[in-house]
């Protein structure tokens, strides 16, 4: 069996599709820019990777387990724009008609679902590609789990993480604890930026070892770590560490791609005015150059 699984961060794709294109609308005035952008990107992924197993994972609107332990979590994020919200149901309908499973679980973010599925699949001898621009996912990378960054169209593996951040995927949670995450409103250690974090982890190996040796630090860095408690570190770690053991009521084998419903897809695309996408879904999944791309990934 061809045990290759593609996991798509659907929530990041939604926003990318929404902001990448100028506002589009169907003949009846319905907003369609995010639908068009999302579907085009998804079709390109299917064509490029052609994995037998695939799922698209979304965040839910409810508060998550992280909000319970830290009320300020993602407090600076804006609400989803209304004209994007109204397009989401149609996007999900099209995903299902393409024969692809959708996963979302109340209380957990798409990242946690992807993390759990990745490890679950790896334990069943699958090779996994996670499609996301989110650097937090680097903590999952190992020999059998890689990331495809759709913004840069590059595969991120262990070596790429080391080259870019100066730390290994195994150290990435500690790296995130040190630098924090302004996008998610997660505080880091005062005065510690990416370069300092990498340098400290290269020297000491982990945050625990840094704390054990904080007397060896100098100047303001010493002051910063003197003011940090193990409880502070543990709180931030619980925010940046992805859950890998949540209860997901699906087996990896059930994520096998089904045959797309081309008739219904064409009906929807015609109604939305997506003439170019009608031609797209009639194409075969692989071209020669894409076969080369796929072979180089697995």
Instruction: Give DSSP secondary structure letters for 56-69.
Output: EE---SS--HHHHH
User: Long-range pairs for 286-293 at CB < 8 Å and ≥24 separation?
Assistant: 286/47, 286/50, 287/47, 290/47, 290/48, 290/50, 293/48, 293/49
User: 109-129 pLDDT, tens per residue?
Assistant: 899 999 999 999 999 999 999
Confidence of residue 147 (pLDDT cuts 50, 70, 90): very high
β-bridge pairing 145-149 and 4-9: unpaired
> Is residue 145 helix, strand or coil?
strand
> Is residue 258 helix, strand or coil?
coil
**Can you tell me the distance from the alpha carbon of 134 to that of 11, in angstroms, rounded to the nearest whole number?**
11
Q: What is the mean pLDDT of the chain?
A: 88
pLDDT at 234 exceeding the cut of 80: yes
User: 30-63 pLDDT, tens per residue?
Assistant: 899 999 999 999 999 998 999 999 999 998 876 7
Provide φ and ψ at 276, rounded to 5°. Answer: -65, -30
**Can you tell me the distance from the alpha carbon of 189 to that of 186, in angstroms, rounded to the nearest whole number?**
10
User: 166-201 pLDDT, tens per residue?
Assistant: 999 999 999 999 998 877 777 788 889 999 999 999
pLDDT at 295 exceeding the cut of 50: no
Domain boundaries, the chain: 4-157+243-284, 164-240
147 forms bridges with which residues in the sheet?
A: 130, 156
**Can you tell me the distance from the alpha carbon of 174 to that of 169, in angstroms, rounded to the nearest whole number?**
10
CATH class of 164-240: mainly alpha
pLDDT at 94 exceeding the cut of 80: yes
pLDDT at position 93, please?
97
CA angle 179, 182, 186 (to 5 degrees): 70
CB atoms within 10 A of CB 114: 27
CATH no., domain 4-157+243-284: 3.40.50.1010
β-bridge pairing 145-149 and 154-156: antiparallel
User: 154-167 pLDDT, tens per residue?
Assistant: 999 999 999 999 99
101 forms bridges with which residues in the sheet?
A: 55
**Can you tell me the distance from the alpha carbon of 188 to that of 290, in angstroms, rounded to the nearest whole number?**
41
User: 202-229 pLDDT, tens per residue?
Assistant: 999 999 999 999 888 888 898 888 888 8
112 closest CA partner among 206, 247, 17, 292 = 247
Taking only Cα atoms into account, the Rg of the chain, rounded to an integer number of angstroms, comes to: 21
CB atoms within 10 A of CB 28: 9
């Amino acid at each position: 069996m061809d045990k290759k699984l593609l996991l798509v961060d659907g929530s990041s794709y939604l926003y990318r599709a929404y902001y990448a294109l100028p506002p589009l609308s169907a003949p009846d005035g319905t907003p369609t820019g995010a639908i068009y952008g999302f579907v085009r990107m998804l079709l390109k992924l299917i064509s490029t990777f052609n994995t037998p197993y695939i799922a698209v994972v979304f965040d839910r609107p409810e508060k998550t387990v992280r909000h319970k332990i830290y009320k300020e979590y993602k407090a600076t994020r804006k609400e989803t724009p209304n004209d994007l919200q109204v397009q989401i149901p149609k996007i999900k309908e099209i995903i299902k008609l393409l024969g692809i499973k959708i996963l979302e679980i109340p209380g957990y973010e798409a990242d946690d679902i992807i993390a759990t599925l990745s490890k679950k699949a790896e334990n069943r001898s699958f090779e996994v590609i996670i499609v996301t621009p989110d650097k937090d996912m680097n903590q999952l990378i190992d020999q059998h789990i890689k990331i495809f960054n759709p913004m840069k169209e590059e595969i991120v593996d262990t070596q790429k993480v080391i080259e870019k951040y100066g730390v290994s995927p195994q150290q990435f949670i500690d790296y995130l604890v040190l630098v924090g995450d302004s996008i998610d409103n997660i505080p880091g250690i005062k005065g510690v930026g990416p370069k300092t974090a990498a340098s400290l982890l290269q020297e000491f190996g982990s945050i625990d070892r840094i704390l054990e040796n904080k007397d060896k630090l100098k100047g303001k860095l010493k002051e910063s770590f003197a003011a940090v408690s193990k409880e502070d570190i543990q709180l931030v770690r619980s925010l940046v560490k992805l859950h890998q053991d949540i209860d997901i009521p699906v087996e990896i084998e059930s994520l096998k791609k089904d045959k797309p419903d081309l008739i219904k897809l064409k009906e929807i695309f015609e109604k939305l005015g997506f003439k170019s996408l009608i031609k797209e879904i009639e194409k075969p999944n692989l071209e020669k150059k894409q076969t080369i791309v796929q072979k180089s990934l697995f």
